[in-house]
């Protein structure tokens, strides 16, 4: 699979992550987006030896969308700081079961359970906050645009499940049906950041998987 590059400069590599691909390695040993990025840079610039590429955020394996990597340690440090201080704006698209409200603001407290593989709403958890608006509704499915204020593990999946609208394909959190290719109907539509050296504000956008329902394409 070829790497889908959205932006490349001396400090950033921005790509579109396909659904089903790991962002970084796990016990499966499957190929990761990080490894593909390093291989791309090595070939692109004919670099000998190891290539530095910093992972500064993640997407769940079954999700798709925009991911940014740092090409230098300085860029990695500055991007990580932007994520910590919420200077980076993250917008998602999701397909949720049922008819969601036209818009909403969700605040819950999330905690990990079962060896940290599952997240639940619990009073002792970390604050999780997002806003959403419904872009469309058809065949008992809502297409929602989500502005993420915090970046908790499985946050969007858990919060929408908790209000009765699990994401399509999210069998772990209550979905009734699988999504094509064992994917999840969650897509990191855009990411806005300040360039680590120029401070220019940049927005990167990616389209969802081609198997998303055609009634929800723009």
How crowded is residue 5: how many other Cβ atoms within 10 Å of its Cβ? Answer: 13
Rounded Cα gap, residues 188 and 211, in angstroms: 16
Which phi and psi (to 5°) does residue 34 adopt?
A: -60, -45
Judge whether 143 and 136 are in contact, CB under 8 Å.
Answer: yes
Which residue of the set 9, 50, 60, 170 is catalytic?
Answer: 60
Rounded Cα gap, residues 133 and 145, in angstroms: 5
Judge whether 194 and 209 are in contact, CB under 8 Å.
Answer: no
Three-state DSSP at 96 gives: strand
CA R_g for the chain: 18
Listed in order, strand segments (DSSP E) in the chain are 5-8, 12-17, 54-55, 64-70, 89-97, 103-113, 118-121, 126-138, 141-148, 186-194, 201-205
Rounded Cα gap, residues 1 and 4, in angstroms: 9
How crowded is residue 168: how many other Cβ atoms within 10 Å of its Cβ? Answer: 22
Judge whether 186 and 94 are in contact, CB under 8 Å.
Answer: yes
Asked about 60 being catalytic, the answer comes back as: yes
User: What positions carry a catalytic annotation?
Assistant: 60
């Amino acid at each position: 699979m070829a790497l889908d590059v959205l932006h490349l400069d001396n400090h950033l590599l921005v790509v579109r992550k396909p659904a089903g691909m790991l962002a970084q390695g796990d016990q499966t040993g499957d190929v990761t987006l990080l490894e593909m990025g390093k291989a791309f840079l090595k070939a692109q610039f004919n670099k000998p030896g190891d290539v530095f590429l910093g992972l500064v955020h993640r997407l769940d394996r079954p999700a798709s969308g925009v991911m940014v990597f740092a090409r230098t340690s300085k860029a990695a440090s500055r991007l990580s700081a932007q994520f910590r201080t919420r200077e980076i704006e993250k917008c998602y698209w999701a397909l949720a079961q049922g008819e969601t409200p036209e818009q909403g603001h969700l605040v819950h407290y999330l905690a990990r359970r079962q060896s940290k593989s599952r997240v639940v709403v619990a009073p002792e958890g970390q604050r999780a906050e997002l806003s959403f608006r419904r872009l469309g509704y058809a065949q008992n499915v809502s297409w929602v645009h989500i502005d993420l204020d915090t970046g908790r593990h499985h946050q969007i999946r858990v919060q929408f499940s908790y209000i009765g609208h699990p994401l399509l394909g999210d069998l772990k959190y209550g979905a009734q049906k699988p999504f094509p290719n064992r994917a999840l109907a969650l897509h990191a539509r855009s990411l806005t950041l300040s360039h680590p050296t120029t401070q220019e504000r940049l927005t990167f956008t990616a389209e969802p998987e081609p198997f998303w329902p055609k009634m929800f394409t723009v």
